[in-house]
């Protein structure tokens, strides 16, 4: 059942301060709208008052900031895919951006919105985990930063306090040479919600894996960093991916997700042996 549009209000603030006041009063942020408009069309929106963030250009930038890259929450997938800074330091994020939706969605959808939508199958989220991202949150009371790994607390649940807005994502620039792999598995090449996805990054020194980061999307109630598996690999033990908690849903089955996750990891580890 479609929503009745006149029942909704969209406020356009003149400044970030005004936007934060509106959010503190209970209004919901509206960024690219790619998920909100789906909910509107399906008659599933529970909130009636939204804040249009589009005029807040200070939230749309990609900058080199003292050994880290800071991505404004309103940066679109197209911005990220076309950024030379992202291509140089964080190629998996550029790859994920290019595989998100269609060109229209890439031009409208934002990385902040992708995070705040809190889908465990979101394309950018496992990549941010593998890159040790931090999230900058802002409210009328000030700013705070938390590790991205602590941001998703459960299915569609976030460590976002009332009145807070995702302001930016910060990615620490890594030293040395890293080998990155992003794989998204879906029913087709484009405009597909992932059955599962893998973001993995490793350093190899003298034929041995000296550092590794592994994250999956679509395999747990939240995007998941596999610390136990990382420790197993670094200590030379057999690895098991026992952190994964896949479910059967309308996109795939537990058995399929477990087998494909194992295959993707095996392929990545084997590729490292040839470096």
DSSP state string for 257-270: HHHHHHHHHHHHHH
Whether residues 117 and 150 share a domain: the answer is yes
Report the 10 Å Cβ neighbour count for 206: 5
Residue where a domain stops, chosen among 150, 172, 194: 172
Say what the pLDDT of residue 48 is: 77
**Total domains present in the chain:** 3
pLDDT at 4: 62
The pTM (predicted TM-score) of the whole model is 0.92
CA 246/CA 217 separation, integer angstroms: 10
Q: Which domain holds residue 130?
A: 57-172
Residues 161 and 70 in one domain: yes
Residues 255, 210, single domain; the answer is yes
d(C-alpha 176, C-alpha 235), whole Å: 21
Q: What is the DSSP string of 51-109?
A: EE-TT-GGGS-EEE-SSEEEEETT-BHHHHHH-HHHHHH-HHHHHHHHTSS-HHHHHH-
Domain boundary among 148, 172, 196: 172
Q: Which residues contact 210 (CB under 8 A, 6 or more apart)?
A: 203, 204, 234
Same domain flag for 154 and 117 = yes
Domain end among 172, 192, 214:
172
pLDDT in tens, 209-259: 999 999 999 998 899 999 999 999 999 999 999 899 888 887 889 999 999
% of the chain at pLDDT higher than 90 = 70
Same domain, 147 and 164: yes
The answer on pLDDT for 13 being more than 60 is yes
pLDDT for 69-115, tens place per residue? 999 999 999 999 999 999 999 999 999 999 988 888 889 899 999 99
Task: Spell out where the chain has E strands.
Answer: 9-11, 28-30, 49-52, 62-64, 68-72, 134-139, 142-147, 152-154, 157-158, 165-172, 179-185, 196-205, 208-217, 224-225
The CATH number that applies at residue 111 is: 3.30.465.10
CATH code for position 235: 3.30.390.50
Do 40 and 64 fall into the same domain?
Answer: no
* One domain for residues 159 and 90: yes
Residues 158 and 64 in one domain: yes
Q: Are residues 48 and 62 in the same domain?
A: no
Tell which residue, 106, 65, 109, 64, has the closest CA to residue 85: 64
Mean pLDDT of the 52-58 span: 93
CATH value at residue 30: 3.30.43
Same domain, 139 and 216: no
**Residue scoring higher pLDDT (192 or 105):** 105
**Is the domain of 126 the same as that of 48?**
no
Q: Are residues 115 and 184 in the same domain?
A: no
The answer, yes or no, to whether residue 268 has pLDDT greater than 80, is yes
């Amino acid at each position: 059942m479609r929503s009745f549009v006149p029942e909704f209000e969209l406020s356009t603030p003149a400044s970030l301060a005004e936007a934060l006041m509106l959010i503190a009063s209970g209004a919901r942020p509206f960024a690219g709208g790619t998920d909100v408009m789906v909910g509107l069309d399906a008659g599933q929106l529970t909130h009636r008052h939204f804040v249009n963030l589009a005029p807040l250009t200070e939230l749309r930038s990609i900058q080199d900031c003292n050994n880290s890259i800071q991505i404004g929450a309103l940066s679109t997938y197209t911005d990220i895919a076309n950024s030379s800074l992202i291509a140089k330091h964080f190629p998996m994020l550029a790859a994920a951006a290019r595989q998100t939706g269609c060109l229209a969605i890439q031009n409208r959808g934002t990385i902040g919105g992708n995070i705040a939508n809190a889908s465990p199958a979101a394309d950018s989220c496992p990549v941010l985990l593998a890159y040790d991202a931090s999230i900058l949150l802002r409210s009328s009371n000030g700013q705070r930063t938390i590790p991205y790994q602590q941001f998703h607390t459960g299915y569609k649940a976030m460590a976002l306090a009332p009145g807070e807005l995702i302001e930016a994502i910060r990615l620490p620039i890594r030293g040395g040479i890293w080998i990155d792999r992003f794989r998204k598995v879906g029913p087709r090449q484009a405009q597909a919600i992932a059955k599962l996805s893998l973001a993995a990054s490793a350093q190899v020194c003298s034929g041995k894996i000296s550092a590794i980061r592994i994250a999956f999307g679509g395999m747990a109630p939240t995007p998941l960093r596999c610390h136990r598996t990382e420790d197993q690999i670094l200590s030379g033990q057999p690895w098991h991916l026992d952190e994964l908690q896949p479910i059967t849903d309308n996109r795939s089955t537990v058995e399929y997700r477990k087998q494909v996750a194992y295959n993707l990891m095996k392929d990545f580890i084997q590729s490292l042996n040839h470096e």
